[in-house]
Structure 1
Amino acid sequence: MALDQNSENTEASFGFTENKSSMENVEKQDQNSDNQAINSSTSLPSERMVIYNADIQLTVKNYEKARTELERKAAEIGGYLVEDTTNRYGEEQLSGMMVFRIPQQHFSSFLQSAEEAAAEVTNRHVSGQDVTEEFVDLESRLRSKKAVEARLQSFLEEAEKTEDLLKISSDLSKVQEEIEQLTGRMNYLQNQTAYSTVTITLEENSILVPGIDNKELNTWQKVKKQLVVNINWLLSFLSGSIVLIAGNLPIIILLALVIGIPLVILRKRRNVRNEEKK
């Protein structure tokens, strides 16, 4: 019986040691995944991944016409407008900025069309960022992380102890978070390389001359308006005067009596004195 008990303890200890050893191997694999990714990224694909950006400034004869034509051309080749700003100077001259996302295969042709439609190209700047190595490195890292994820999921299914379940779940969560970050970065690079950003600044070189507009004269209308304003003011004044007199009539009568009666008495006394003198 003692031998059987020792044998069971040994087997349990061996099982725990084997599980712990496997976990350490997975952790080592996760730590070395970045180095493996760097080593595997030495062979780059033949087609480079480049993010193109262009910034051009154009002088045009008709701003609205040029703006409409650029938007139409972008939609025609599968691009789209992401920003549109228009400014007006002195209600005559127009200028603005348009930002397009253009499929990379039509990048050069769109720039050429925009420049040909302009009266003058005042500034042109085109830049490219090669992200091929970064993308390949991300791919390798993603493969390594997914391998670690699969290994941890198998351990999670086989684990029986609560301590092991918590440890494996924590490691699995971290690996899945890293996988999401790598996937998000790869999607961003793919979108940036698939569509190029073109910023076009437009400025109109002609000043619009307004025509003669007799709508601003309207002499008779202005006379009638001024007459109505004066009549309304007069009616308002008369109405206010009537309200003032009628509303204060009791006070006016009282003041008249207070002041009038003494005056009448004084006048009668003066008349009596004058008769006596005669």
Structure 2
Amino acid sequence: MKGKRVFIPLLVSLFVLLTACSASEQSKADSATSESSAISVESSMDKSVGDDQVVDEQEVETTERMIIHKAQLRVKVKSLDKAQVKIEKKVAEYGGYIVESNVYKENDEAVNGNMIVRIPEKHFQSFLKDTEEASADILERNVTGQDITEQYVDLESRVKSKRAVETRLLEFMGNAQKTEDLLKISSDLAKVQEEIELIVGKMNYLENQTSFSTIELSLFENQVIVPAVDRKNLDTWDKTKKQLATSTNFMLAAGSALIVFIIGNIPVIVLLVLVAAAIYFMIKRKKSNKG
């Protein structure tokens, strides 16, 4: 009986110890699995980057070249209004659009206009030719091209590798059992998806720049102004009547002023006349006495 009592507690203790060891090993296994998943994602990202560099070089050689074309034209036109109307019609005909259009007047003889238009790449040269033929004179012509093929292929490869990582993270998220692992994978997934959106945005911008060419137009119109005949300077009879009326008014005004002056100053005039007469007679009398 005493042997059985000692054996049973030993058996229970051994069972508890084995259970604890099993749980510990399971925890380590889960941790190792999570770490292995993270390492697997990182290694796959590194491998993708390395593979992309090799793929980029091959794709650049086989991919159709992507060129961004731009042009600047400075031309003289006979009529600025008519030239702008023709350009607008050509832009619509080729399926392009106008980015900017303005007109400004430097003086009475110079009217200038600026236009920025975007034309589908396949009609780029045709539009330039049409504009030059419709101009009176070409002052300046500048055409440039920027090859962005390598840049686009690089972005394309980066998107592929990022999407592969995104797929792997989604698989890990579906198999994650711990909240801690789920949060870590979600954070990594959000970061990768944000990077994908940025890269795709850059690719869309480059596609737009290569699909449509940008053309800046400066239009100059020189107007020769012929002065009109000034009929006011040739109206002799009206000028004569006007001058006669002016002279008559002056004479009447002068006569009226003289009459007003005389009548208004009669007392003073009479006094001055009397004084002058007295002085005259006094001088005359002195001369008579001397004689």
- Could you state the TM-score of these two structures normalised by the residue count of structure 1? 0.72
Query: How do 1:1-278 residues align onto structure 2 when only pairs under 5 Å count?
Result: 1=15, 2-43=17-58, 44=60, 45-209=62-226
Q: Deviations for 1:232-270, whole angstroms, at most 9, x for unmatched residues? A: xxxxxxxxxxxxxxxxxxxxxxxxxxxxxxxxxxxxxxx
Of the structure 1 ranges 84-93 and 72-81, higher mean CA displacement relative to structure 2 is found in 84-93
C-alpha distance 195-208 of structure 1, shift in aligned 2 (>3 A): farther
- State how far apart, in whole Å, the 2-side matches of 1:55 and 1:70 are: 15
C-alpha distance 46-29 of structure 1, shift in aligned 2 (>3 A): closer
Helix, strand or coil at the partner of 1:41: helix
- Whether the 8 Å contact between 2:74 and 2:219 is mirrored in structure 1 is yes
- State how far apart, in whole Å, the 2-side matches of 1:47 and 1:210 are: 60
Q: Deviations for 1:5-63, whole angstroms, at most 9, x for unmatched residues? A: 42342233112202211112212323454333222111223421100000111111111
Helix, strand or coil at the partner of 1:48: coil
- State how far apart, in whole Å, the 1-side matches of 2:223 and 2:50 are: 61
In structure 1, the residue matched to 2:274 is none
Structure 1 residue 209 displacement after superposition:
4.4
In structure 2, the residue matched to 1:241 is none
- Whether the 8 Å contact between 2:76 and 2:219 is mirrored in structure 1 is yes
Q: Deviations for 1:150-184, whole angstroms, at most 9, x for unmatched residues? A: 11112122222222122111111111110011000
C-alpha distance 73-163 of structure 1, shift in aligned 2 (>3 A): same
Q: How many residues align?
A: 215
Q: What percent of counterpart residues are identical?
A: 45
- Whether the 8 Å contact between 2:109 and 2:222 is mirrored in structure 1 is no
Structure 1 residue 208 displacement after superposition:
4.5
C-alpha distance 73-161 of structure 1, shift in aligned 2 (>3 A): same
Structure 1 residue 210 displacement after superposition:
6.8
Helix, strand or coil at the partner of 2:138: strand
C-alpha distance 165-211 of structure 1, shift in aligned 2 (>3 A): farther
C-alpha distance 91-206 of structure 1, shift in aligned 2 (>3 A): closer
Runs of 4+ in structure 1 deviating by more than 4 angstroms, as ranges, are: 208-214
Structure 1 residue 67 displacement after superposition:
0.9
Of the structure 1 ranges 72-81 and 148-157, higher mean CA displacement relative to structure 2 is found in 148-157
Structure 1 residue 4 displacement after superposition:
4.3
In structure 2, the residue matched to 1:233 is none
Show structure 2 runs of 5+ residues with no match.
Answer: 1-14, 232-291
The letter for the 2-side match of 1:79 is G
- State how far apart, in whole Å, the 2-side matches of 1:141 and 1:213 are: 76
Who wins on radius of gyration, i.e. which is larger?
Answer: 2
- State how far apart, in whole Å, the 2-side matches of 1:210 and 1:197 are: 41
Show structure 1 runs of 5+ residues with no match.
Answer: 215-278
C-alpha distance 189-208 of structure 1, shift in aligned 2 (>3 A): farther
CA RMSD of aligned residues (A): 2.0
- State how far apart, in whole Å, the 2-side matches of 1:82 and 1:210 are: 38
- State how far apart, in whole Å, the 2-side matches of 1:70 and 1:41 are: 41
- State how far apart, in whole Å, the 1-side matches of 2:45 and 2:227 are: 73
In structure 1, the residue matched to 2:288 is none
